[in-house]
Amino acid sequence: MNKPKIALTIAGTDPTGGAGVMADLKSFHACGVYGMAAITSIVAQNTKGVQHIHNFDQSWLAEQMESIFDDELPQAIKTGMIASKPMMELIRDYLKKYPDLPYVIDPVMLAKSGDSLMEDDAKADLQNILLPYAMVATPNLPEAEEITGLTINDEQSIYQAGKVFINEIGSKGVVIKGGHSEDKQNAKDYLFTQNDVYTFEEPRYDTKHTHGTGCTFSAVITAELAKGKSIYEAVQKAKKFISLSIKHTPEIGQGRGPVNHFAYMKEVGLDDE
């Protein structure tokens, strides 16, 4: 039996299973990759919003990371909700120690409900400490604006933001997601690498159930990189995966429900690898 590829997510929780490490692990599984997780924060949230956030002490994350890396090395790493500078510095130390491990950063700042998931000071730290090590960063439009300081309201400003990530911040790749755009027909994402720009477009579905889309999208990219796929191939798969996940949402909860993490697995199957 072939040993499975392993992806590690470092993020917060969602007790209703739609976002955070719960969504990441489901997405890894649906991509045929074994998932590991280190918890940064316990978040009391549901489809209606975030009620409470309890950020772990940096030492608690350190203990989890030591346990993981002392036993088994993952083939790719993803971070989601990272609430404090000491946690970012700890993660950076691992990225420096294992520079060949693909690293995907979902710069989580706001929940779908609009609730803040990051301390204000930590937003600048994210740019200085973690983003330069990213093989792929996956900001949505509001996050890209927060990070770059630009107003992003058209394709030209998206290209400007992409250049900031690549040329100034130092990320190897960035996907600026168009889910928050004014286009009511299609959801268009822009992938910027050091040499190329690609666009990925899927139909926009009329649903409020999009909780956890950012976590899921970045988790699929991480899983595909763990399998040795290129950045382009990983993002292409993630775009199709998240589109089907939204199309077949299970409509759980009284608010913004989660997406269907197994829709791609059911419709396309794992035999396309």
Average pLDDT, integer, range 180-187:
68
79 annotated active-site: no
151/128 Cα distance (integer angstroms)? 20
Name every residue whose Cβ is closer than 8 Å to that of residue 181 and which is 6 or more positions away in sequence.
141, 187, 188
Catalytic residue among 13, 79, 193, 213: 213
Catalytic, 9? Answer: no
Q: Average pLDDT of the chain?
A: 91
Question: What CA–CA distance (Å, rounded) separates 101 from 115?
Answer: 32
What is the layout of strands, in order, in the sheet containing 186-193? 34-39, 6-11, 76-79, 103-105, 136-137, 173-176, 186-193, 197-203
pLDDT tens digits for 229-272? 999 999 999 999 999 999 999 999 999 999 999 999 887 765 44
What is the average per-residue pLDDT within 165-194? 87
Catalytic residue, chosen from 26, 172, 177, 188, is: 177
- pLDDT score recorded for residue 123: 73
Q: What is the pLDDT of residue 186?
A: 84
17 is catalytic: no
User: Per-residue pLDDT tens for 54-79?
Assistant: 999 999 999 999 999 999 999 999 99
Is 213 a residue of the active site? yes
Active site includes 40?
A: no
Instruction: Tell me what pLDDT residue 272 has.
Output: 46
> Tell me: the pLDDT tens digits for 197-232?
999 999 989 899 999 999 999 999 999 999 999 999
Is residue 177 annotated as a catalytic residue, yes or no? Answer: yes
Region 151-167: mean pLDDT is 95
Q: Examine the pLDDT at 273 and tell me if it is beyond 70.
A: no
Q: What is the pTM of this model?
A: 0.94
pLDDT at 187: 87
From 20, 80, 178, 212, active-site residue: 212
Contact yes or no for 172/135 (Cβ under 8 A): yes
Domains of the chain in start order, with CATH, are 6-261 (3.40.1190.20)
Query: What pLDDT band is residue 179 in, cutting at 50, 70 and 90?
Result: low
The band of 188, judged by pLDDT with boundaries at 50, 70 and 90, is very high
Give pLDDT tens digits for 22-65: 999 999 999 999 999 999 999 999 999 999 999 999 999 999 99
Whole-angstrom distance, CA of residue 186 vs CA of residue 78: 27
Nearest 5°: the CA angle 158, 24, 189 is 20
Catalytic-role residue among 215, 216, 229, 249: 215
pLDDT for the residue 182: 58
Question: Over pLDDT 90: what percentage of the chain?
Answer: 80
| Rounded-to-integer distance, Cα 197 and Cα 246, Å | 25
pLDDT score of 271:
45
Q: Of these residues, 18, 214, 237, 257, which one is catalytic?
A: 214
